[in-house]
Amino acid sequence: MKRVLITGAAGFIGSHLSDRFIREGYLVIGMDNLLTGSLDNIEHLFKLKEFDFYHHDVSKFVHVPGHLDYILHFASPASPIDYLQMPIQTLKVGSLGTHNLLGLAKEKKARILIASTSEVYGDPLEHPQKETYWGNVNPIGPRGVYDEAKRFQEAITMAYHTYHGLETRIVRIFNTYGPRMRVNDGRVLPAFFSQAIRGEGLTVFGDGEQTRSFCYVDDLVEGIYRLLLSDYNQPVNIGNPAEITIMDFAREILRLVDNPKAFIDYRPLPVDDPKQRQPDITVARKVLDWEPRIDRVEGLARTYEYFKTVVTPG
């Protein structure tokens, strides 16, 4: 059986990837320091002989006994609240952590896929964003620790590919949602669902005209799986191009949750908050024959069922 190491395995996306690879017949080694991940996300896997877990910080030396066929590097704080509170850890996992895992991949002769992000485009001046766009990033702004960690991560990954001939893959992930998102991680979807269920104000920054594009996690995992097994070594956007304003999104959540106590609460726009975010997925369609299948209506309904189990109504 093929073995895959998934870092950040106890996180939102990492746990769904662990599920997928086990279903595909792989032996999965999950690794996480539980800084932002939760064992609740992978508790159902501990009874399986196909799953093993290492409690470890990849910013320190990484050793895994035995052979490895693939490494998926998804360890990192990934929400503004997290990386504003943990700026040094965010930079270290993107730099030292990536360096350690690239070294492990070289030692094991394994193919490695690293999780980059749409944040490498910053507050984009190009819309929608193609992989060829270099971005508009403030390196010393409050979001810079995450943006630049991911940009460095891409740079060192390509350096290992070109210098050492390492088999590498880079996925640029756009806004993703679904079950197992942390309730208080600060991102717009868990915030809106939690606030609506509790009967609180849905926090809309600025005038709410900034846009986002939301991809359901099952679609994302499918895209990542296809990219890993492809022969394509350049960055690939994986996301849903269906763009919506934050204001309209708040209204969708209010209609779905239908809590008369909930309302829209306007707040000042944070520094360097992107005004537009929409992936151009031409490359994914052409190279991976991939595009999202689950529309926002279905995806939000599934996600709402999850949040009803973890948020106390108000």
Contacts of 164 (CB under 8 A, 6+ apart): 106
Average pLDDT, integer, range 233-249: 97
Determine the average pLDDT of the residues in 10-35.
98
CB of 95 closer than 8 Å to CB of 109: no
Q: What is the pLDDT of residue 203?
A: 93
The verdict on whether omega for the bond into residue 235 sits within 30 degrees of 0, i.e. cis, is no
State percent of the chain over pLDDT 70. 99
Average pLDDT, the chain: 95
Question: Residue 9: its pLDDT value, please?
Answer: 98
Six-digit token string for 262: 């909930």
- Mean pLDDT value across residues 215-235: 98
For residue 91, the model assigns a pLDDT of 97
- In this model, does residue 18 exceed pLDDT 70? yes
The whole-angstrom separation of Cα 158 and Cα 163 is 8
Amino acid symbol at 41 = N
Q: What is the mean pLDDT of residues 13-41?
A: 98
**At 265, phi and psi to the nearest 5?**
-115, 110
- pLDDT one-digit tens code per residue, 116-129: 999 999 988 999 99
Locate 14 and state its tokens: 């990492």
pLDDT band (50, 70, 90) for residue 279 = very high
pLDDT of residue 36: 95
What is the SS3 assignment for 215? strand
Is the confidence at residue 275, as pLDDT, over 90?
A: no
| pLDDT of 269 above 90 | no
pLDDT in tens, 154-208: 999 999 999 999 999 999 999 999 999 999 888 899 999 999 999 999 999 989 9
| Residue 312 clears pLDDT 70, i.e. is over it | yes
Segment 42-62 shows an average pLDDT of 98
pLDDT recorded at residue 272: 62
Give the H/E segment covering residue 228: helix 217-229
Total Cβ atoms within 10 A of residue 33: 20
- What residues are labeled active site? 146
Question: Is the pLDDT reported for residue 274 higher than 80?
Answer: no
Domains and CATH numbers, the chain: 3-176+216-238 (3.40.50.720), 179-212+242-278+294-310 (3.90.25.10)
Q: Residue holding tokens 């309209």?
A: 248
86-138 pLDDT, tens digit each: 999 999 999 999 999 999 999 999 999 999 999 999 988 999 999 999 999 99
pTM greater than 0.75: yes
Q: How far apart are CA 45 and CA 9, in angstroms?
A: 11
